[in-house]
Chain A
Amino acid sequence: MTASTTPRPVPVLAPARRAGRARRRTAAGEAHRLLPAPLLAAVTVTLCAMVLAPTLYIVLASLNTDVGVASGEFWPRAFSLDSYSRIWTTADLATGLLNSMLVCALVAVASALLGTITAYVLVRYTFTGRLTILRGLVGLQSIPGTLMLLPVFVLFSSAGNYLGLTVVGTRWGLFLAYLTFALPFSTWVMVTYLRGLPRELEEAGRMDGASTLRILFRIIVPLSLPAIVVSGIFAFLLGWNDVLFASVLTRPETQTAAVALSAFGATQEGGAIPVYSQVMAAALISAAPVVLLYLAFQRYLVGGLTAGGVK
């Protein structure tokens, strides 16, 4: 049995693969299969169809005219790429996308890392108030955004008025807000994941005299990459899709893609047709970076413990 007789390709695993496993790859490949092939196909096709049907409508609508979409056409009577060129001038989409990418990427990284650190302390150590903090983090996530908008704005603008720190209208302010809102969730994702990590590795590290930070970055982070990627994605999307806070905390130069996108949905009383086709085109353009980023990072979603190196 050599590796070349593997019936199906084994997923690309993180570097620390042990040679021993290669010998048993055939059996391992079979053993790892979760669903029989026909069922797998059926499930995948159904789910894809479910997702792609309305998505197809979005794509078709973006290739239609505004009037056409407004009158409820599914298949455009006249195809046109007009919308894709108009969206850049109707609202400042380019600036919006740039700002969003910047802020959300930073939020994703910062939130995942801070969440890992916080989760590590909460999972591996006991201290008074640990349970309260854990429960509190969940509680914090149940606070509706509409309740927080005005108070957060007052807080930020007071910093500007009384401390001379201009926060409102800067990307920095938006970053802080999004980071804080994403933290409870990131922390909990890491808590759930870290709890399943065996302690032996850290013990080994500590035995070698490593400091906590070293253990964190050398051992924990690589092992929990899947969860880090997931919590990073969520944090990214939280910032990417938020309209409420972005609309009050930004100025035209620092506005995000979500704010620019909402400008497309602008409705004026009694008259103009909303530029539906452009909305769809802009939505697709705004979704593209996230999907591309996901495609780039999704390989880290495999691996972790299955990479071996435990013993």
Chain B
Amino acid sequence: MTEQSTTRTRRRGVTEQQRPLWLLTPGGLLMTLIILVPLLLAVYISLIDLDQYTLRRWLDAPFIGLRNFTEAFESGLPRSIWISVSFAVISTAATVPFGIAAAVATQNAFRGRALVRAVFLIPYVLPSFVVATVWRTMLQPDGIVNTMLAKVGVDGALWLSGPTSFWTLILVEIWAAWPFIYLMALAGLQSVDGEVHEASAIDGANWWPKLTHVILPYLRGPVLLACLLATLHHINNFTLPYVLFGAPAPDDVNVMPMIVYVTSFQGLRFGLSAAMAIVSLLLIAIPLFAYLRALRLDVHEDGGRK
């Protein structure tokens, strides 16, 4: 790595020496102060016995080391994390086709395109709890969804309780979150040089091979990044399951943010919930970094496409 950069430095000349690293300070300062410091505080909280009884004088709360962590493992946290992760991965995978299709469809101008683009954004713009309320009303046992299904002769299921609730959560999340992939893919499509289009036209490529072999590779970077961030967002999404199912939630959708929220804000067991959140953070960060490395998303690619 150093070998490469030295060569590059030598190649690029003197300007590379004037690294304006000071430009990193504003962002870095903000993030250190408002994210890292509270994070350290949260780690401290996970090591003490902080609940409603000790909240008043939290600095004096007894230090109990890793006891919160052991309790976290015994309290059903691993299962919740598993539910969260599988929910997140499936949701992301399902939203990708929709997002890319939408980006591709709105890339070329047509009358009313601006409106269509705005319509596509609606699920993402609506606040989570409104989306959840609407879907919860529609998915009632005697709600509109089951009524429509009955009209076509399909027996409506119990959407909001029992095993089906897991798939309901995925369904609603897909509806609400696909515009995210759409937006990222759209931005990615803009970086396709005009000449690329012309070159493939000259080559006489049909739309399908052109799309899959020429255009889509440009989307790789943005879409893979979008997948990563979308998965993270799904894993940490608390509002949707909370408003859709309420607390306590059916066992099959007891996702990790729910269990952390209920422990912290309803059970008032801050130490335990901090430990839970940190455990889940670690369990998620490790595959995350593996994903990053595997896709080399963080590696310095040479700029420009020829």
Contact = CB atoms under 8 A, between A and B. Distances in A.
Contacts of A114: 26-27, 30
Interface in A192-208: 192-193, 195-200, 206
A54 B108 contact: no
Contact of A118 (B23, B37, B210, B215): B23
A279 B133 contact: yes
B156 interface: no
Contact of B105 (A28, A35, A142): A35
A117 B28 CA distance: 11
A286 to B, nearest CB: 7
A76 interface: no
B56 interface: no
A19 interface: no
B303 interface: yes
Most buried by A among B27, B39, B118, B120: B27
Contacts of B221: 192, 195-196
A40 B299 CA distance: 35
B231 to A, nearest CB: 9
A310 B192 CA distance: 13
B222 interface: yes
B153 interface: no
A144 B280 contact: yes
Interface size class of B (residues with CB under 8 A): 35 or more
Contacts of B236: 142, 144-145
B277 A146 contact: yes
Interface string A1-39: 000000011110000000001001001101111111000
Most buried by A among B5, B106, B301: B106
A177 B15 CA distance: 36
Interface string A111-142: 00011011011110111000101110011111
A233 interface: yes
B304 A47 contact: no
Interface in B64-116: 98, 101-102, 104-110, 114, 116
A230 B187 contact: yes
Interface size class of A (residues with CB under 8 A): 35 or more
B186 interface: yes
A78 interface: no
A32 B194 contact: yes
A52 to B, nearest CB: 7
B149 interface: no
Contact of A151 (B26, B42, B117, B235): B42
Contacts of A180: 30-31, 33-35
Contact of B108 (A27, A32, A55, A61): A32
Given A125-B16, A198-B304, 17 more contacts: A31-B201, A32-B194, A40-B110, A48-B119, A51-B120, A69-B137, A121-B23, A138-B292, A141-B232, A142-B232, A143-B35, A148-B38, A151-B37, A189-B187, A198-B303, A226-B186, A230-B183
Interface of B: 5, 8-9, 15-16, 18-21, 23-24, 26-28, 30-31, 33-35, 37-39, 41-42, 45, 98, 101-102, 104-110, 114, 116-131, 133-135, 137-138, 140, 142-144, 147, 175, 180, 183-184, 186-188, 190-194, 197-198, 200-201, 207, 210-211, 215, 218, 221-222, 225, 228-229, 232, 235-236, 238-239, 243, 256-257, 260-261, 264-265, 270, 273-274, 277-278, 280-281, 284-285, 288-289, 292, 297-298, 300-301, 303-305
15 contacts: A33-B207, A48-B116, A58-B130, A74-B144, A131-B298, A141-B229, A144-B280, A147-B281, A148-B35, A150-B270, A151-B39, A233-B183, A261-B130, A283-B130, A295-B118
